[in-house]
Structure 1
Amino acid sequence: MSNMVDPLVGQIADRVRTERERRRWTLARLAEASGVSQAMISRIERGESSPTAVVLGKLSAAFQLSVSSLLALAEGTPGDTDGGVGVRRGDEAAEWRDPATGYRRRQITSPRFPAEIAEIHLPAGARVPYPAAAFAFVRQVVWVLDGHLTFHDGDSVHELDAGDTIELGEPTSRVFANTTEAACRYAVVLTRGTQP
């Protein structure tokens, strides 16, 4: 799979550009707001570079959207066009892969559903930090399905095993880390709040 292009790269490129233009922001303004270089944003918007989870976190924070929202909007989820009940088979759900860590994220719900649910596979040894602003405007629960997750919630560190959940409070910087030699799988469930 190393030579395959992630099918979501073009969709993420379109979504980032659309969100930036909707706000009438220049590349420089988005770079300032996110801490991501103009050159990197430009490469992402042209579909020349797949953003890492850290970069997606910074961009979503600048847009005041959750990472789930940014990816769900990019995916254009099947079964979401008629406003009714849509069945999606497991192999139809788009999966995004972080090129830096191998972290994989699959959006379970469509953008029209009132809560967002994503399934995450965190490889052994992977560490994914997000800025506090990535958690603005959302209420979120993390539910460990398999393996062990070391979750940094600001200055607090929580060791979570399969079946454990943590409900997140006020936005703070957070780190999802797998310090073990086995993969970890968890679900993120969030409700959307006020958006810009």
Structure 2
Amino acid sequence: MEMMDDLELDQRLGARIKALRQSRSLTLDMLAERSGVSRAMISRVERGESSPTAALLDRICAGLGIVLSVLFRDEGHAGPLARRTDQPVWTDPASGYVRRNISPPGTGSGIEIVDVEMPAGGRVLLDAPRSAHRLDQQVWVLAGEMMVTLGGIEHRLAAGDCLQMLLDGPIAYHNPGSVPARYAVVLTTSG
């Protein structure tokens, strides 16, 4: 996927969210109630007038009953191979973390792989309710260190460590180090 400016990416994300909402026959008010995000904010995001944070997108996705990576799938490049140049990249405006969807879209596989680079001191809290689907996830730290907090339990991960978890509540990611951390997230969803 070619690099695009922030405005273009915000507009693509907004259009994708609107299409997903409409495909589920949800009004703005219904999605607002399900996600805990105001109707006005969802409308701004759908129009591409806001640069949504990871936390905001996580809440909207929970309201839609999808995982975050669904927003970044480029179904136009469906097939068993995802070249690096075709992998969608997004930067969270709040934390500065950069996420790259690695998995090929449109294959029907229930496995998603995401490559994340978290800047030194970077922090993200994803606290959306996850009752719509079961989300099994593994975080494999490739470089640096990460603190992952789930269910009130803090896990300090160094390069090479892998943490498996069932996401059924808030999760916090924090890079306590002085250098960027890089990690892979492998997740599966069911029902």
Paired position in structure 2 for 1:116: 112
Give 1:71 deviation, angstroms.
2.2
Of 97, 107, 115, 1:103 maps to: 97
Percent identity of paired positions between Structure 1 and Structure 2: 39
Paired position in structure 2 for 1:26: 27
Give 1:33 deviation, angstroms.
1.4
Distance of 1:132 and 1:38 partners within structure 2: 16
TM-score between the two structures when normalised by the length of structure 1: 0.86
Paired position in structure 1 for 2:141: 144
Give 1:168 deviation, angstroms.
0.6
Distance of 2:76 and 2:104 partners within structure 1: 6
Is the contact made by 1:132 and 1:171 (CA closer than 8 Å) also made in structure 2? no
Alignment of 1:82-93 (within 5 A): 83=79, 85-88=80-83, 90-93=84-87
Distance of 2:138 and 2:50 partners within structure 1: 30
When structure 1 is superposed on structure 2, of 125-134 and 141-150 the one drifting more is 125-134
Aligned CA RMSD, in angstroms, stands at 1.8
Give aligned pairs, total. 184
Amino acid at match of 1:92: D
Query: Cα distance 1:125–1:55, how it changes in 2: closer, same or farther (>3 A)?
Result: same
> Helix, strand or coil for the counterpart of 2:179?
coil
Amino acid at match of 1:172: G
Paired position in structure 1 for 2:160: 163
Distance of 2:172 and 2:61 partners within structure 1: 16
Give 1:34 deviation, angstroms.
1.1
> Helix, strand or coil for the counterpart of 1:133?
coil
Query: Cα distance 1:77–1:151, how it changes in 2: closer, same or farther (>3 A)?
Result: farther
Give 1:102 deviation, angstroms.
0.9
Amino acid at match of 2:81: G
Paired position in structure 1 for 2:150: 153
Give 1:22 deviation, angstroms.
1.8
Alignment of 1:3-14 (within 5 A): 4-5=5-6, 7-14=8-15
Is the contact made by 2:32 and 2:42 (CA closer than 8 Å) also made in structure 1? yes
Is the contact made by 2:35 and 2:128 (CA closer than 8 Å) also made in structure 1? no
Structure 1: state its 5+ residue gaps.
none
Distance of 1:121 and 1:149 partners within structure 2: 11
Distance of 2:47 and 2:163 partners within structure 1: 37
Runs (4+) off by over 4 Å: none
Amino acid at match of 1:86: L
Per-residue CA distance 1:24-47 (angstroms, 9 max, x = gap): 222122112111122211111011
Amino acid at match of 1:24: S
Give 1:6 deviation, angstroms.
5.1
Is 1:52 equivalent to 2:53 in the alignment? yes
Give 1:155 deviation, angstroms.
0.8
Paired position in structure 2 for 1:129: 125
